A and B are shown apart, each in its own frame.
Chain A
Amino acid sequence: MALLQTTDSVPLGAQDEQRNSSALSRWLSRHAAILLVGLFMLILPAVAGDFILVQVFGWAMILGIIALSLMFLAGYGGMVSLAQMTVAGVSGYMITVFGASSLPTISLFWPWWVAAPIAIAIAVAFGALTGVLASRTEGIYTLMITLAIAAAFFYLTLQNWPIFNGFAGFTTIPAPVAFGINWKHPLPLYYLILFFAALSYLLVVYVARSPFGLALQGIRDNPRRMEAIGYNVTAHRVAGFAFAALIASIGGILMVWLNNQISPGSTGVEASIDLLIIAVVGGLGHPIGAFLGAIIYVVLRTFALDSLVAVGLDGRRFQTLIGLTFLVIVLFSPDGVIGLWRRWVARARTTGGRSRS
């Protein structure tokens, strides 16, 4: 389980309680990387076209949000859930059932401010139920049970016509018009996704340092000891699943609004597995890993075809490329890209220190 124990036990920035004038500059330098990324994302629309904006960065941020929920469960809770894409799928399907789509026989066409909360509530309830089931067992069993749940939901959506419209799924589910802005246009949609990506990132960082998050990390490291101290292990695990479901359900709704459709394929077993790949490739050690993994995945997915053809290979072997990338990461850097970065920084520091002394 070495993979799971790489999160910081001392959260970044927990010690800086200084009240002197250098606090601000220290805070800035400590968070320089994330602030730079945020600034870059804010001014990106000035330089990038609509395709790059929405289909690459927007899609990556949505996958990042859903992968973030998996990272929270796996990294802080020690529970590797393959059902997070399913949770996103539940909220995505529910927003089409309660909101608008091209199928008036199923959709109820309620306004977005009614449909979205209902979809999120149902998805959170589903996530919590998954947690109740998964907490009956531990470790690797969690992965198997959640995989079975994900597959069961996939086959349900495939076979069920009254609610999920079978393999055809739903089309024409645009983002709504709200506050005088039509959110389906690329620029508003991009900023909407960026807002929720930043919000869920900050939420996870905050919750990870809260008493609840710390208790969850304690349970990850030693459930028996936490039980002995008096923590209700099962309740914490289920609450962890519910919180992760909240984040995943936001991602699910955005996913539907971006793709303009949802079908069994969007939440199938392969999508769930891709999500795990994203989280692991990025690294389960820090929330930013989910977004790193997502951008790597989306860039590979978008440009692999052309680059494979360019080096004389069959462009359709994209899945092999993804699988091999994943294998290399798991075999040689179990803590993902984050781990590579951390080791590189550590080495730069030691060599830098040596040259100065």
Chain B
Amino acid sequence: MTTAFGNERPADGAKRGDALGRWIGRHPVGALVLAVVVIFALWLVLAPWPPGFEAIFGKKRLFINALFNGITLGGLYFLVATGFTLIFGLMRNVNLAHGSLYLFGGYMGYEATQWTGSWLFSYVIAFISCAIVGVAMQFLIFRRMEGEDLRQTLVTLGLSIVFSDLMVWVWGGNAIQIDTPDWLLGPVSTPIVVAVKSSGEAVFLRYPSVRLVIFAAALVIGIGMWLALHRTRIGVMIRAGVDDRDMLSVLGYRVQLLFVIVFAFGAGLAGMAGIVGGTFQSISLGEDSHFLLASLQVVIVGGMGSIPGAALGAIIIGCAEQFGQTYFQNYATVLTFVIMVVVLAIRPQGLLGRR
């Protein structure tokens, strides 16, 4: 049996570089294929497509738009799914009310923007209100049925039904759009060529700046979380808890406090994602189950309890959804489903998950 810290990897960069070199040494063919794929992907994105190529695969504009939409949607999915995967990894609690927290955060953020007019401030409100709900759930209910994962899941199911009905009561069934702040309105130009005019002039991609900013924010949050998990004391405690909760508790750490913190943080992130979703698309009845499903797919593909896995899974699922909607509308969800099935068949624990 490993100790609580037994699975910790060497963190210094030099050894990482060695690991990459060793991996290439061990899988020369795989590395070559990977390099070709990466170069081809870069060419697909950066270079203007030759006419014959466009005749087969459609306009480059479509492809680039699907790619960008997929990656930014992946950023949103990442925000929702990290909380889900952290809570699952640490507490073995499948929080089926996670989608409700997302929706609740979106509505609270909408109220906050209506009252204060500040888009950024609404994130604080959404984070705090969802974190309070999360703490209440952990403190009042889940603490009393620790280790009974099926019963906990059923409770979250009941809560999600009650929550969604109460939210319909308060906010009605209509879709609500959160206004994009003025400084983020409109598109920005990107240095990516989507087409070449007959005059030889290149047309560059213009993309909504709000989506890019939000994706950057998701990136920052992701890196910040990785740093917090790997460089701070509480992060070490959380990782140790994911590996072996009982051992951590035996060593004298306050596991219950840790649970409350993680639940609050995960719920808060879901709430913030609600505002992002409300600005990207809109929030309405039914979005809670949509985002619950997305979180499920992301963590099944990426691996339970793994933050990098959530990031990878979110990008994959986001891109699959957008490409599906662009290229074969009738079977778009089947694509994400097929990805999930393939991952389950090859690696049941998820791409970056551990047994």
Closest 7 CB pairs of A and B: A323-B161, A319-B165, A323-B162, A155-B333, A327-B158, A152-B337, A151-B293
Asked whether, in the complex, the Cβ of A137 is within 8 Å of the Cβ of B161, the reply is: no
> Which of A45-53, A141-149, A291-299 forms contacts with chain B?
A141-149
Task: Report if A195 contacts B (CB, 8 A).
Answer: no
Task: Report if B289 contacts A (CB, 8 A).
Answer: yes
* A143 surroundings in chain B (CB, below 8 A): 94, 150, 153
Asked whether, in the complex, the Cβ of B333 is within 8 Å of the Cβ of A159, the reply is: yes
In the complex, the chain B residue whose C-beta lies closest to that of A140 is: B149
Asked whether, in the complex, the Cβ of B162 is within 8 Å of the Cβ of A324, the reply is: yes
A162 touches which of B158, B330, B333 (Cβ 8 Å): B330
* A148 surroundings in chain B (CB, below 8 A): 293, 296-297, 300, 337, 340
> Which of A1-9, A30-38, A55-63, A213-221 forms contacts with chain B?
A1-9
Q: How large is the interface on B (under 10, 10 to 19, 20 to 34, 35 or more residues)?
A: 35 or more
* B165 surroundings in chain A (CB, below 8 A): 317-320, 323
Asked whether, in the complex, the Cβ of B330 is within 8 Å of the Cβ of A160, the reply is: yes
Interface SS, A side: helix
Chain A proximity of B269: nearest CB distance (Å)? 19
* A327 surroundings in chain B (CB, below 8 A): 155, 158-159, 162
With A1-B149, A151-B289 known as contacts, the answer to whether A159 contacts B332 (CB < 8 A) is: yes
In the complex, A139→B348 CA distance in Å? 13
A binding-site residues for B, Cβ under 8 Å: 1-4, 80, 133, 136-137, 139-141, 143-145, 147-149, 151-152, 155-156, 159-162, 269-270, 273, 276-277, 280, 314, 316-320, 322-324, 326-327, 330-331, 334
* B340 surroundings in chain A (CB, below 8 A): 148, 152
Asked whether, in the complex, the Cβ of A276 is within 8 Å of the Cβ of B157, the reply is: yes
B binding-site residues for A, Cβ under 8 Å: 92, 94, 96, 141, 148-151, 153-155, 157-159, 161-162, 164-166, 169, 289, 293, 296-297, 299-300, 304, 329-334, 336-337, 340-341, 344-345, 348
Chain A proximity of B338: nearest CB distance (Å)? 9
In the complex, A331→B148 CA distance in Å? 12
* B155 surroundings in chain A (CB, below 8 A): 327, 330-331
Chain B proximity of A23: nearest CB distance (Å)? 40
B333 touches which of A80, A137, A156, A322 (Cβ 8 Å): A156
* A137 surroundings in chain B (CB, below 8 A): 344, 348
In the complex, the chain B residue whose C-beta lies closest to that of A330 is: B154
With contacts A152-B336, A276-B157, A324-B158 known, what are 11 further pairs, Cβ within 8 A?
A140-B150, A143-B150, A144-B94, A147-B96, A148-B293, A148-B300, A270-B289, A317-B169, A326-B157, A326-B161, A334-B151
* A1 surroundings in chain B (CB, below 8 A): 148-150
* A280 surroundings in chain B (CB, below 8 A): 154
* A136 surroundings in chain B (CB, below 8 A): 344-345, 348
Tell me which of A161, A162, A273, A316 has the highest count of chain B C-beta atoms within 10 A of its own C-beta: A273
Asked whether, in the complex, the Cβ of A156 is within 8 Å of the Cβ of B334, the reply is: yes
